[in-house]
Structure 1
Amino acid sequence: MGAAMRRIQVGSALSAFGVGFTVPFLYVYVAQVRDLGAGTAGIVLAAFAMAALIVLPVTGRVIDRRGPLPVLMGAALTASVGALALGFANSEPTAIVSAALLGAGTAVMQPALATMIVWCSTPTTRTRAFAMQFFLQNLGLGIGGLIGGQIVDEHDPGSFITLFSIEAVMFLVLAAIVVTVRLPHAPSFQDAVPKDGSAPQSGLRALLRHKAMVQLCVLGFVLFFACYGQFESGLSAYGVEAAGISPSTLGIALAANTAVIVIAQFAVLKFVERRKRSRVIAAVGLIWAVAWIAAGYAGMGHGSQAMATAAFISTYALFGLGEAMLSPTVAPLVADLAPAGMVGQYNSAFALVKQLALAVGPAVGGPMGAALHGPYIVTFLLFSLGITVLAVRLGRQLTPLQNQPYVAKSRVVAQGAPEPVPANS
């Protein structure tokens, strides 16, 4: 990594470290510590998500026009103000406004950081760059949550002020680090056009004419809906109600998910980067189908409680393996599909799709996981198999450089090498 990439990665990891201090405790903080009730806590969480949905549609165009650096700076400052205000919020309006600021800021950071990584990488180095970001962010979240759990005290609002203050400071640290980054000019991707030659020019309408990008967005929605959208809602409700999993075991399952990501990320990287991206995503769909089968076994009640617990933890571990395979695959593909001058818009569009999936996933999966155990497993097993089908279809729309940049680039270099000059010439 060059100096610019190192600073981006460090800033991204530290901001995730700050977020880890508060994310696991937000509901408890609003509902119980501030004594605003479960209803207000739900509204605060909704405000956090809705703010992201409002700002993301316009974020991409601003990134492409002004560059990712000023956008990231503004997002970090906004998130810092929101986090600090939320720490001192003791009324419903204050908590809602603070959560909206925090949600908007953190949402805008995603495409801005992704665009900075794109600008500081090439198609052949981008896979490892995004894998490193995913690894460091998960490590930061895990360590932040672990330390935050030692600080938090449900009977002491001051402990939560400390948590949110640390989060606010980490956003300021991110801003301070990235302001020293010297970005190159926006790159041009010569091969990032649809196969039919109708290369998009700019704007949402042009993006919607890009068949490969539209298919990737549909695939992305299914990916996030079937995995991330179920972690803390439907799957946890299913585990408690159908499999008899205790709340403490849920924490172990989430820890297993993070552990697999941290351990497997670089172990699978060489395997992933030398294979077609569409086939890697298709394989993830099959792995997640096995994960849902394991979850189904955990809730059938035919084995011992120990077997059910092991199967349920395996579900989260298999999800982690799939996530480790996706991190160096999907985000670089979004960048490589973007024509020159639209990297920010493509990153923002995909971030919007992710946010929509994370909003719809709990709303659908939560009630099903709690009450409709069999249909819940079957539904998301089919969604996982759908990932495989959609990935195979997407592969037909991709050029060789988009689908397998490592090998395609090597072939281009080999074919373009000058022929040796005869000695007697």
Structure 2
Amino acid sequence: MRRIQAGSALSAFGLGFTVPYFYVYVAQVRDLGAATAGIVLAVFAMAALVVLPFSGRAIDRRGPVPVLLVASVLASVGAVAMGFASSVPAAVGAAVLLGAGTAVMQPALATMIVWCSAPAGRTRAFAMQFFLQNLGLGIGGLIGGLLVDTSRPGSFILLFSIEAAMFLVLAAVVGTVRMPGSPALQGTRPSEGAKGGGLRALLGHKAMVQLCVLGFVLFFACYGQFESGLAAYGTEAAGIQPSTLGIALAANTAVIVVAQFVVLRFVERRKRTRVIAAVGLIWAVAWMVAGYAGLGHGSQAMATAAFISTYALFGLGEAMLSPTVAPLVADLAPESMVGSYNSAFALVKQLALAVGPAVGGPMGAALHGPYIVTFVLFSLGITFLAVRLGRQLTPEQDQPSLAVKPSKVVARHEPARESETAAA
């Protein structure tokens, strides 16, 4: 588990070097124009949508390790190609490789975490992954900002090369992992059952379908707005300086890093669906604070503080979601379909991230009042859907702490010593 988490954090560290500067690199540094940059970003997202439906079956049949190794190498080649891309075809081709590779990594890593954890420990395991990934992204972005120079394409070649190297480091680390053979993992190993089921079985699972709908709304109302609708709203309605967007994103990451394990103590002993419902309420407040920033009549300093607070409140909600949603996907999955369920949920997330900017961007830039009202309602919809989902779950699925056995001694199967028996 430690190796998996370290590899995940290092890959996020590599992504942090390029994610904030992807658009600027294509549009300005390579001088391919804003339209081409938009096409490249769309291709990046579409590549993920194409490969994710197939990656789940591959994970269930072959196991997550070989799938992750292929995805890491693919992403590494895509990153290097992007660093040297000076034409539209080269940039589009690199985006295909990079998008496909990075998309498959997450369900493969999630499946490995499931294999290495019991249901009661998955909450903490996924919280640790989310914490380390955000920390890696933040540090990578910080260092990347010190290296980047828009007047020198060579500085971006360095950034993409570092990203490519981190993907290979992930492959090397994962390649050394020998999945444990604990009896507790018997139900999560690939089996002959992985050859059946598929999409029909998943769509017939009512609780999973409801969780996917909930997941789409979650990602649409939060991540799908960060770099599009909310950024447009902040600059157009609230008069926020572009540099403040970086401070707001830093506040979001800082809240996640600082609050993650404090929040975890609160989450572990409570029903998952109630925690998700609380996130909906927190995000509704966040959107209201954003409304004050853009539609209120306070000073510019107050508007800026309110806008940064919006991102911070989103971060608090994200810290509450990381130990609840991903483990719940794993716990709902049948024994031989863990990879398929993780990939299906990743596909839902990718769809939300594709639709979110397309809807939120124009609204945030021009329809300020309706934009805020719309996403306040979406946030309240999260609460409604979470409460509804709770009716479909078993008590142990909704609250894994109920399944924790009080004694750990029996599980070790160690014979008692004669002296200890006599003393007893």
Provide Cα deviations, 1:318-348, integer angstroms capped at 9, x if missing partner: 0000000000000000000001000000000
Q: 2:127 aligns with which of 109, 131, 156?
A: 131
Task: Report the AA paired with residue 388 of structure 2.
Answer: R
Provide Cα deviations, 1:120-156, integer angstroms capped at 9, x if missing partner: 0000111000000000000000000000000000000
Task: Report the AA paired with residue 324 of structure 1.
Answer: A
2:216 corresponds to 1:221 = yes
2:64 corresponds to 1:65 = no
Q: 2:361 aligns with which of 358, 366, 375?
A: 366
Q: 1:423: which partner in 2?
A: none
Q: How many angstroms apart in 2 are the aligned matches of 1:201 and 1:185? A: 24
Q: 2:398: which partner in 1?
A: 403
Provide Cα deviations, 1:62-84, integer angstroms capped at 9, x if missing partner: 00000000000000000000000
Task: Report the AA paired with residue 94 of structure 1.
Answer: A
Q: 2:230: which partner in 1?
A: 235
Q: 2:117 aligns with which of 118, 121, 125?
A: 121
For 1:49-88, list aligned pairs within 5 A: 49-88=45-84
Q: 1:330: which partner in 2?
A: 325
Q: How many angstroms apart in 2 are the aligned matches of 1:406 and 1:250? A: 39
Q: How many angstroms apart in 1 are the aligned matches of 2:223 and 2:180? A: 33
Q: 2:149 aligns with which of 153, 166, 190?
A: 153
Q: CA deviation at 1:190?
A: 10
CA contact (8 A) 2:118 2:185 kept: no
CA contact (8 A) 1:276 1:404 kept: yes
Q: CA deviation at 1:214?
A: 0.2
CA contact (8 A) 2:281 2:380 kept: yes
CA contact (8 A) 2:75 2:167 kept: yes
Structure 1 residue runs without a partner (length 5+): 193-199, 417-425
Runs (4 or more) in structure 1 with deviation over 2 Å come to 184-192, 407-413
Q: 2:206: which partner in 1?
A: 211
- 1:290 is paired with a residue of what secondary structure? helix
2:103 corresponds to 1:107 = yes
2:362 corresponds to 1:376 = no
CA contact (8 A) 1:188 1:340 kept: no
CA contact (8 A) 1:119 1:185 kept: no
Q: CA deviation at 1:369?
A: 0.2
The alpha-carbon distance between structure 1 residues 210 and 191, as it changes in their structure 2 partners (threshold 3 A), is: farther
Q: CA deviation at 1:215?
A: 0.2
Task: Report the AA paired with residue 309 of structure 2.
Answer: S
Structure 2 residue runs without a partner (length 5+): 189-194, 412-424
2:153 corresponds to 1:176 = no
Could you state the TM-score of these two structures normalised by the residue count of structure 1? 0.92
Q: 1:37: which partner in 2?
A: 33
Identical counterparts, % of pairs: 82
Task: Report the AA paired with residue 387 of structure 1.
Answer: I
Task: Report the AA paired with residue 219 of structure 1.
Answer: L
Q: 1:23: which partner in 2?
A: 19
Task: Report the AA paired with residue 257 of structure 1.
Answer: N
Q: 1:271: which partner in 2?
A: 266
Q: 1:389: which partner in 2?
A: 384
CA contact (8 A) 2:115 2:185 kept: no
Q: How many angstroms apart in 2 are the aligned matches of 1:138 and 1:33? A: 27
Q: How many angstroms apart in 1 are the aligned matches of 2:22 and 2:383? A: 35
The alpha-carbon distance between structure 1 residues 178 and 391, as it changes in their structure 2 partners (threshold 3 A), is: same
Task: Report the AA paired with residue 131 of structure 1.
Answer: A
Q: How many angstroms apart in 1 are the aligned matches of 2:178 and 2:197? A: 26
Q: CA deviation at 1:306?
A: 1.1
Aligned residues: 404
Q: Which moved more, 1:404-413 or 1:207-216?
A: 404-413
- 2:117 is paired with a residue of what secondary structure? coil
2:92 corresponds to 1:96 = yes
Q: 1:419: which partner in 2?
A: none
Task: Report the AA paired with residue 381 of structure 2.
Answer: G
Could you state the TM-score of these two structures normalised by the residue count of structure 2? 0.93
Provide Cα deviations, 1:358-390, integer angstroms capped at 9, x if missing partner: 000000000000000000000000000000000
CA contact (8 A) 1:189 1:338 kept: no
> What's the RMSD between the two structures over aligned residues?
1.9
Provide Cα deviations, 1:42-87, integer angstroms capped at 9, x if missing partner: 1110110000000000000000000000000000000000000100
The alpha-carbon distance between structure 1 residues 367 and 90, as it changes in their structure 2 partners (threshold 3 A), is: same
Task: Report the AA paired with residue 353 of structure 2.
Answer: L
Q: 2:244: which partner in 1?
A: 249
Q: 1:297: which partner in 2?
A: 292
Q: How many angstroms apart in 2 are the aligned matches of 1:236 and 1:27? A: 15
Task: Report the AA paired with residue 313 of structure 1.
Answer: I
Q: CA deviation at 1:400?
A: 1.0
The alpha-carbon distance between structure 1 residues 139 and 109, as it changes in their structure 2 partners (threshold 3 A), is: same
- 1:159 is paired with a residue of what secondary structure? helix
Task: Report the AA paired with residue 77 of structure 2.
Answer: V
